[in-house]
């Protein structure tokens, strides 16, 4: 859609809040903890299916004609509003659902202990990535989507329902953000301003990988994670800005990111 | 278009504010002065936006300007307000000149995010520098005017007068610049860079020049903010600060050099009103007003005045 | 250019707006500044706001026990004007000026962030407005400059680090070979760690620093840091994390066995101990930045405060709430002392300041002495203990109290120098 979407941060936070409050409430009513993983997923689905279409149909669809930067600012304005909406719904007190995190126990690698939940996170991430790749490459909707993103006007002329595609894309993208938030929720305390840090970090990841490239985003995320851990172990002073340093370096040598998609210049 | 009325209007505003400033309550003087400082930064962003470039890292130069001014006072005891501002402007302009070689090659979102990355690196470095107070920053000494320190009751007015004068000169110069062939190239670059190259102009060179101007203006604004507020900290380089500047730029519109200052003033008023009447939900007020402006005034606040002039 | 005329008219009108008249019975306006949004709202800002609301209401209704039974401040009712502390220092300075010059408040009480305190103090001085900081920790404020109009009724962060070092030395009977730190990468985290490290080196000579981790503020994910600290196998792990970061750290460090491997000190652990009761194992050293919350003394003022607060908000007051109550009561004590010196008439700001300097007053946390920073900076005793779950309820056990002069530097001595010289009095 060529939208740099700041509300992604809000969906991350919404996902985390929904997951924490719904799972917490169900656990308190005696739900077996083993079901909580499904509830995490379900809550992410719930918020994104309700809120994303509301935003897309209610506001964003009137704005697509505007400049990319203006759209970015619109999503920023929505992000600010959603921050306060979240505060109104859930208050400022933190939510916790640590059960899914501790439930599975932990395992030792060499001298260090890791919880199995970290493996679940890795699994969810791989599943989402693979699912997305399959959807874009092998389903009708996915292929239509790629066509719409590549050239909206031609797609419309070919009879594709572009509005519906936009709605699907936005909702699906938001769902992924909400899943990210929901599955992070058990490891953190869910507090206001949760989405702020994530959004800049994910921009960095996407830019390192190359905008609009799925393998790029995956590689970017792995790179960011590795570089950050390396910095923490060997050069803690640099941890604050090392990601931005990597981003600047990558852009200096590959101006459009690692997996950039060639773009025709219009004369 | 008829005669260029902008210089006359600028002079009128300058005079009006200089006169009315003597009677205004102290807190408004401060509000206006801070708005002028931010307006200078936004003026630079406006130049860049005219050729379709949005810098998400303009806070870098704002912060450099502020720290240059603050350190000049801290290390050498310099306190003359014009010296500090020149230092801030020069430091930011110089960094902008060097970085410009790299950044002038980038367009659209990559330009924005690369500039963001650079400003965040500065933020990270400053947070780590305990000699400069880490995240707490440090206090900037009160500045003087030609070696004189105005009486307490007149400090705010003097600072405002200096800020007005500086903003006036900057706005006038930028207005002149936008009228030159190099300045007019902006919209051509925005529309189609390849055609610009075919005409024999160098888009990269033009962008580099604009980038340095924008950096110097941001440095000037930063130095002014430092002397006005009296405290600087690394948050001046954080991406939220850059975000605020872009916010104001869009709010103001790119129609005229007066727009950035007007936008900064309106932003300051919205923010302080929102803080006052709804301390718990001011973000909503801020986001809501931005949405309203984008939807109803697509060319920013400035279109209000342009529309009336045409009528 | 119509708008120019409009602007001029509007501003001229603002310039001649009448100033509020000052009658004897006129209420006192207090600006209260604390975090109402962002990550610091939940642990500090909102509890502090709640405490301020309760105190103002109860003082106006003369429901506070002795010696604070008089209505409001010296008979004048209090009116609170609330401001959000979020946003950069520029915004805070602007808002402070608005409070002082537009809203004409009589005094300002507030500020959690050390950066905001450092930025606001010189402005308070410029505007000659009585300003009381209630929570911020940096010792720099009164070490670098002296102020006439600025007071702080809570101890500095130095006390927390020195107290933690004294406690852990006693707890481990001096058997500490190595220490490690996980602190946020900003002034509070850096200062806390520097003071703790220096104190440990004084108290247990030869101690090694295994690792000092400084993750980004509000990072939320600490798996890499926890791995490094686990690998370092330090005897003692120090952390000054607060709020979301602290809670995330506890949730992530627990399953990975950090609390079993090392003695962990959480200097602000009190803000998380009730919420995360079942996730904090027994034996974690818990601090409350002074004698607040579970460490507060058993006196009438404290019983009244903690009950009133818990009845209204359903949770016990945390240390930020105590510190806000302490700031308001301290200012009240100073104000009323000045008023009686002024023959029962409303005191001027200068008279209130003269009464505030070197004042000793009672708060729900016991005795507060404004004796350092030339009489503008409070010192209090402090206490540390270890977590202990009793019937599903989190309590502190093995509590040790440290008198004020043992954990705070004497007047005129910088905290860092005082520690480096072996805590000489």
* pLDDT tens digits, one per residue of B249-305: 888 888 788 889 999 998 888 888 887 777 777 788 888 888 888 888 877 887 777
- How far CA B222 is from CA of B88, C88, C170, in Å, comes to 7, 14, 50
For tokens 């004609």, the residue is A65
Q: Which residues pair with B187 in a beta bridge?
A: none
Token duo for residue B195: 């055609």
Chain B: nearest CA to C417, how far in angstroms? 17
User: Nearest CB to A83: which of B116, B124, B283?
Assistant: B283
Do C281 and C322 fall within a single domain? no
3-state secondary structure of B276: helix
What is chain B's length? 311
% of chain A surpassing 70 pLDDT? 94
- How many domains would you assign to chain A? 2
Do A216 and A162 fall within a single domain? no
Do C30 and C74 fall within a single domain? yes
pLDDT at B116 over 60: yes
Selection from A221-230, A236-245, C379-388 with the highest mean pLDDT: C379-388
User: Nearest CB to A189: which of C215, C225, C251?
Assistant: C251
Which has more pLDDT, A254 or C344?
A: C344
- Which residues in A lie closer than 8 A to residue B109 (C-beta atoms)? 4, 68, 207, 211
For residues B106 and B116, what is the distance between their CA atoms, to the nearest angstrom?
13
- Residue C15 covered by a domain: no
For tokens 């670098």, the residue is C144
Do A11 and A69 fall within a single domain? yes
- Residue C367 covered by a domain: yes
Do C34 and C44 fall within a single domain? yes
pLDDT at C34 over 90: yes
- CATH code for position C394: 3.40.50.2300
User: Nearest CB to C37: which of B138, B238, B283?
Assistant: B283
Under the banding of pLDDT at 50, 70 and 90, the label for residue C12 is very low
Last residue of a domain, one of A191, A222, A247: A191
- How far CA C367 is from CA of A127, C27, C363, in Å, comes to 59, 28, 6
Q: Domain extents for chain B?
A: 6-239
Mean pLDDT confidence for B176-183:
84
User: Nearest CB to C90: which of B9, B34, B152?
Assistant: B34
Q: Given CB atoms, is B284 within the 8 Å cutoff of chain C? A: no
Q: Given CB atoms, is C95 within the 8 Å cutoff of chain A? A: no
Do A91 and A197 fall within a single domain? no
Q: Indicate yes or no: CB of B116 within 8 angstroms of CB of A244.
A: yes
Chain C: nearest CA to B202, how far in angstroms? 37
Identify the weakest region by mean pLDDT among A203-207, B80-84, C101-105.
Answer: A203-207
Q: For A242, which residue in chain C has the nearest alpha carbon?
A: C216
Do C186 and C322 fall within a single domain? no
Identify the weakest region by mean pLDDT among B24-33, B35-44, C98-107, C308-317.
Answer: B24-33
Q: How many CB atoms lie within 10 A of CB C180?
A: 25
Chain A: nearest CA to C277, how far in angstroms? 12
Do C96 and C175 fall within a single domain? no
Q: What ipTM score was computed for the predicted complex, to two decimals?
A: 0.77
Q: Indicate yes or no: CB of A200 within 8 angstroms of CB of B239.
A: yes
Sequence-separated contacts (24+) of B4-11 with Cβ below 8 Å: B4/B179, B6/B175, B6/B256, B6/B257, B6/B258, B7/B172, B7/B175, B9/B258, B9/C1, B9/C4, B10/B168, B10/B171, B10/B172, B10/B175, B10/B257, B10/B258, B11/B168
- Residue A1 covered by a domain: no
Do C168 and C264 fall within a single domain? yes
Contacting subunits of B (3+ beta carbon pairs below 8 A): A, C
Identify the weakest region by mean pLDDT among C54-58, C153-157, C172-176.
Answer: C172-176
pLDDT at A200 over 90: no
Q: Indicate yes or no: CB of C39 within 8 angstroms of CB of A191.
A: yes
Do C162 and C121 fall within a single domain? no
Do A108 and A205 fall within a single domain? no
Q: Given CB atoms, is A28 within the 8 Å cutoff of chain C? A: no
Do C262 and C200 fall within a single domain? yes
**In degrees to the nearest 10, what's the CA dihedral of A193, A194, A196, A197?**
130
For tokens 């933690």, the residue is C164
Token duo for residue A29: 């009513």
pLDDT at C8 over 70: no
For residues C222 and C414, what is the distance between their CA atoms, to the nearest angstrom?
33
Do A54 and A166 fall within a single domain? yes
The predicted structure's pLDDT at residue B1 = 46
pLDDT at C11 over 70: no
Do C91 and C122 fall within a single domain? yes
Do A73 and A21 fall within a single domain? yes
- Which residues in B lie closer than 8 A to residue C102 (C-beta atoms)? 25, 27-28
Which has more pLDDT, A263 or B158?
A: B158
For residues A192 and B284, what is the distance between their CA atoms, to the nearest angstrom?
14
Q: Given CB atoms, is C244 within the 8 Å cutoff of chain A? A: yes
3-state secondary structure of C222: coil
Do A187 and A221 fall within a single domain? no
Last residue of a domain, one of A163, A191, A219: A191
- Residue A2 covered by a domain: no
Chain C: nearest CA to B271, how far in angstroms? 9
pLDDT at C131 over 70: yes
The predicted structure's pLDDT at residue B94 = 95
Q: Please confirm whether the linkage preceding C67 is cis (ω < 30° from 0).
A: yes
pLDDT tens column, A136-146: 888 888 888 88
pLDDT at C286 over 80: yes
- Which residues in A lie closer than 8 A to residue B110 (C-beta atoms)? 207, 251, 255-257
Q: Indicate yes or no: CB of A239 within 8 angstroms of CB of C185.
A: yes
Do A138 and A47 fall within a single domain? yes
The predicted structure's pLDDT at residue A138 = 87
Q: Indicate yes or no: CB of C84 within 8 angstroms of CB of B280.
A: yes
Q: Which of B197, B246, B287 should one mutate to test binding to chain A, selecting the residue with the greatest count of A CBs within 10 A?
A: B287
User: Nearest CB to A248: which of B108, B114, B288?
Assistant: B114
Do A148 and A240 fall within a single domain? no
The predicted structure's pLDDT at residue C166 = 94
Under the banding of pLDDT at 50, 70 and 90, the label for residue A1 is low
Which residue range forms the structural domain that includes residue A207? 193-267
Token duo for residue B205: 């060179």
Contact by Cβ (8 Å): B37, C88: no
Phi, psi of A156 (to 5 degrees): -60, -40
Question: Which residues contact residue B125 at a Cβ distance below 8 angstroms, ignoring those fewer than 6 apart?
Answer: A241
Do C192 and C326 fall within a single domain? no
- Residue C81 covered by a domain: yes
The predicted structure's pLDDT at residue C169 = 92
- Residue C19 covered by a domain: no
The predicted structure's pLDDT at residue C303 = 94
3-state secondary structure of C384: strand
Which residue range forms the structural domain that includes residue C283? 158-288+381-420
Identify the weakest region by mean pLDDT among B41-55, B291-305, C113-127, C128-142.
Answer: B291-305
The predicted structure's pLDDT at residue B306 = 65
CA A99 from centre of chain = 23
Q: Which of C35, C183, C220, C276 should one mutate to test binding to chain A, selecting the residue with the greatest count of A CBs within 10 A?
A: C220
Chain A: nearest CA to C173, how far in angstroms? 27
- Residue C114 covered by a domain: yes
Q: How many CB atoms lie within 10 A of CB C248?
A: 24
Do A47 and A111 fall within a single domain? yes
pLDDT tens column, B182-210: 878 787 888 777 888 887 778 888 889 99
- Which residues in A lie closer than 8 A to residue B192 (C-beta atoms)? 266-267
Q: Given CB atoms, is B16 within the 8 Å cutoff of chain C? A: yes
The predicted structure's pLDDT at residue C1 = 41
Mean pLDDT confidence for C39-53:
88
Tell me the pairing of strands C208-213 and C178-182.
parallel
3-state secondary structure of C40: coil
What is chain C's length? 425
Token duo for residue B87: 């230092």
pLDDT at C6 over 50: no
Q: How many CB atoms lie within 10 A of CB B127?
A: 26
Q: CA geometry: angle at B250 spanning B247 and B256, to 5°?
A: 130
pLDDT at C17 over 50: no
Which has more pLDDT, C225 or A192?
A: C225
What is chain A's length? 267
The predicted structure's pLDDT at residue C220 = 77
- Residue C225 covered by a domain: yes
- Residue A171 covered by a domain: yes
For residues A181 and B295, what is the distance between their CA atoms, to the nearest angstrom?
30
Contacting subunits of A (3+ beta carbon pairs below 8 A): B, C
The predicted structure's pLDDT at residue B230 = 83
Chain A: nearest CA to C275, how far in angstroms? 9
- Residue A230 covered by a domain: yes
The predicted structure's pLDDT at residue A266 = 55
User: Nearest CB to B27: which of C7, C101, C138?
Assistant: C101
pLDDT tens column, C70-97: 999 999 999 999 988 987 777 888 889 8
Do A112 and A180 fall within a single domain? yes
Mean pLDDT confidence for B64-88:
88
Mean pLDDT confidence for C115-128:
89
For residues B80 and B78, what is the distance between their CA atoms, to the nearest angstrom?
6
Mean pLDDT, chain A, rounded, equals 82
Question: Which residues contact residue B118 at a Cβ distance below 8 angstroms, ignoring those fewer than 6 apart?
Answer: A244, A248, B57, B60, B99
Which has more pLDDT, B113 or C73?
A: C73
Q: For B133, which residue in chain C has the nearest alpha carbon?
A: C187
Q: Which of B98, B100, B109 should one mutate to test binding to chain A, selecting the residue with the greatest count of A CBs within 10 A?
A: B109
Q: Indicate yes or no: CB of B118 within 8 angstroms of CB of A244.
A: yes
Q: Indicate yes or no: CB of C84 within 8 angstroms of CB of B271.
A: no
Residues of B with CB under 8 A from a CB of A: 49, 54, 102, 105-106, 108-110, 112-114, 116-118, 120-121, 123-125, 127-128, 192, 194-195, 239, 243, 246-247, 250, 280-281, 283-284, 286-288, 290-291, 294-295, 298
Q: Given CB atoms, is C58 within the 8 Å cutoff of chain A? A: no
- How many domains would you assign to chain C? 2
Under the banding of pLDDT at 50, 70 and 90, the label for residue A261 is low
Q: CA geometry: angle at C49 spanning C47 and C53, to 5°?
A: 115
Under the banding of pLDDT at 50, 70 and 90, the label for residue C360 is very high
- Which residues in A lie closer than 8 A to residue B128 (C-beta atoms)? 237, 240
Phi, psi of C175 (to 5 degrees): -85, 75
Q: For C2, which residue in chain B has the nearest alpha carbon?
A: B305
Q: Given CB atoms, is B31 within the 8 Å cutoff of chain C? A: yes
% of chain B surpassing 90 pLDDT? 22
Phi, psi of C107 (to 5 degrees): -160, 160
pLDDT at C21 over 60: no
For residues C100 and B25, what is the distance between their CA atoms, to the nearest angstrom?
11
Q: How many CB pairs under 8 A join A and C?
A: 106
Contact by Cβ (8 Å): B194, A265: yes
For residues C179 and C229, what is the distance between their CA atoms, to the nearest angstrom?
10
pLDDT at C52 over 50: yes
Q: Which of C36, C39, C50, C180 should one mutate to test binding to chain A, selecting the residue with the greatest count of A CBs within 10 A?
A: C39
Mean pLDDT, chain C, rounded, equals 88
Do A134 and A75 fall within a single domain? yes
Q: CA geometry: angle at B220 spanning A76 and B72, to 5°?
A: 120
């Amino acid at each position: 859609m060529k939208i740099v979407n700041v509300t992604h941060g809000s969906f991350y936070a919404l996902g985390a809040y929904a997951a924490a409050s719904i799972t917490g409430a169900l656990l308190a009513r005696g739900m077996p903890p083993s079901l909580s993983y499904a509830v995490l997923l379900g809550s992410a689905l719930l918020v994104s299916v309700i809120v994303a279409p509301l935003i897309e149909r209610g506001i964003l669809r009137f704005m697509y004609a505007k400049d990319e930067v203006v759209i970015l600012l619109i999503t920023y304005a929505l992000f600010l509003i959603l921050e306060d909406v979240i505060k109104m719904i859930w208050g400022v007190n933190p939510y916790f659902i640590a059960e899914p995190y501790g439930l599975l126990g932990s395992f030792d690698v060499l001298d260090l202990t890791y919880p199995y939940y970290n493996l679940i996170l890795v699994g969810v991430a791989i599943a989402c990535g693979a699912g997305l790749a399959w959807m874009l490459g092998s389903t009708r909707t996915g292929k239509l989507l790629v066509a719409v993103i590549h050239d909206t006007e031609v797609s419309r002329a070919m009879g594709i329902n572009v509005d519906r595609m936009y709605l699907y894309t936005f909702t699906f993208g938001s769902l992924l953000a909400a899943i990210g938030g929901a599955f992070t929720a058990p490891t953190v305390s869910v507090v206001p301003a949760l989405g702020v840090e994530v959004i800049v970090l994910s921009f960095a990841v996407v830019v390192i990988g190359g905008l609009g490239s799925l393998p790029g985003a995956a590689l970017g995320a792995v790179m960011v994670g590795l570089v950050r851990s390396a910095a923490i172990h060997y050069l803690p002073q640099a941890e604050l800005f090392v990601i931005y340093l990597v981003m600047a370096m990558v852009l200096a040598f590959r101006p459009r990111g690692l997996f950039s998609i060639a773009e025709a210049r219009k004369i | 278009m008829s005669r260029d009325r902008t210089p006359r209007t600028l002079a009128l505003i300058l005079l009006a504010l200089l006169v009315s400033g003597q009677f205004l309550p102290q807190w408004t003087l401060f509000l206006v002065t801070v708005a002028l400082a931010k307006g200078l930064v936004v003026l630079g962003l406006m130049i860049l936006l005219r050729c379709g470039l949005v810098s998400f890292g303009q806070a870098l130069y704002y912060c450099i300007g502020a720290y240059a001014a603050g350190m000049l006072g801290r290390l050498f005891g310099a306190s003359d307000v014009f010296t500090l501002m020149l230092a801030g402007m020069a430091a930011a302009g110089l960094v902008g000149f060097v970085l410009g070689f790299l950044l002038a090659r980038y367009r659209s979102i990559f330009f924005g995010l690369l500039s963001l990355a650079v400003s965040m690196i500065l933020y990270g470095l400053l947070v780590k520098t305990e000699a400069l107070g880490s995240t707490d920053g440090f206090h900037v000494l009160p500045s003087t005017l030609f070696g004189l320190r105005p009486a307490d009751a007149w400090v705010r007015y003097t600072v405002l007068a200096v800020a007005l004068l500086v903003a006036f000169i900057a706005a006038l110069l930028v207005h002149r610049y936008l009228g030159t062939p190099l300045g007019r190239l902006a919209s051509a670059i925005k529309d189609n860079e390849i055609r610009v190259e075919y005409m024999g102009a160098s888009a990269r060179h033009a962008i580099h020049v604009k980038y340095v101007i924008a950096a110097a203006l941001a440095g000037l604004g930063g130095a002014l903010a430092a002397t006005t507020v009296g405290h600087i900290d690394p948050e001046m380089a954080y991406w939220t600060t850059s975000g605020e500047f872009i916010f104001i730029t869009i709010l103001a519109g790119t129609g005229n050099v007066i727009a950035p200052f007007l936008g900064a003033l309106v932003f300051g008023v919205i923010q302080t009103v929102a803080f006052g009447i709804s301390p718990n939900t001011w973000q909503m007020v801020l986001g809501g007003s931005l949405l309203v402006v984008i939807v109803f005034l697509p060319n920013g606040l400035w279109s209000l005045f342009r529309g009336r002039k045409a009528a | 250019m119509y708008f120019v005329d409009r602007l001029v008219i509007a501003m001229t009108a603002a310039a001649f707006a009448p100033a509020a008249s000052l009658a004897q019975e006129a209420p006192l306006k207090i600006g209260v500044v604390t975090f109402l949004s962002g990550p610091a709202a939940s642990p500090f800002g909102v509890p502090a706001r709640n405490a301020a609301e309760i105190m103002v209401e109860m003082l106006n209704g003369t429901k506070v026990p002795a010696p604070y039974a008089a209505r409001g401040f010296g008979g004048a009712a209090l009116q609170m004007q609330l401001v959000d502390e979020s946003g950069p220092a520029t915004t805070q300075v602007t808002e402070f000026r608005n409070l002082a010059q537009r809203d004409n408040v009589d005094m300002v009480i507030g500020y959690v962030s050390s950066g905001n305190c450092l930025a606001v103090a010189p402005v308070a001085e410029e505007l000659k407005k009585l300003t009381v900081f209630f929570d911020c920790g940096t010792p720099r404020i009164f070490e670098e400059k002296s102020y006439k109009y600025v007071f702080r009724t809570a101890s500095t962060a130095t006390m927390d680090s020195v107290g933690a070092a004294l406690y852990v030395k006693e707890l481990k009977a001096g058997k500490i070979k190595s220490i490690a730190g996980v602190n946020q990468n900003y002034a509070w985290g850096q200062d806390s760690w520097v003071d703790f490290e220096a104190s440990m080196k004084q108290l247990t000579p030869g101690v090694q620093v295994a690792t000092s981790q400084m993750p980004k503020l509000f990072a939320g994910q600490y798996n890499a840091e926890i791995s490094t600290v686990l690998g370092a196998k330090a005897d003692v792990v120090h952390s000054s994390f607060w709020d979301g970061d602290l809670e995330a750290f506890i949730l992530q460090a627990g399953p990975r066995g950090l609390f079993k491997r090392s003695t962990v000190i959480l200097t602000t652990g009190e803000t998380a101990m009730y919420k995360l009761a079942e996730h904090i194992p027994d034996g974690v050293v818990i601090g409350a930045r002074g004698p607040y919350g579970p460490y507060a003394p058993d006196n009438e003022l404290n019983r009244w405060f903690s009950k009133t607060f818990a009845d209204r908000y359903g949770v016990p007051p945390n240390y930020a709430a105590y510190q806000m109550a302490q700031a308001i009561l301290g200012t009240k004590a100073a104000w009323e002392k000045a008023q009686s010196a002024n023959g029962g008439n409303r005191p001027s700001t200068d008279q209130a300041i003269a009464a505030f300097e070197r004042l000793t007053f009672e708060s729900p946390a016991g005795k507060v002495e404004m004796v350092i920073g030339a009489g503008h900076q409070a010192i209090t005793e402090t206490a540390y203990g270890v977590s202990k779950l009793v019937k599903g309820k989190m309590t502190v056990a093995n509590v040790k109290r440290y008198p004020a002069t043992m954990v705070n530097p004497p007047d005129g001595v910088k905290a860092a120098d005082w520690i480096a010289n072996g805590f000489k009095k």
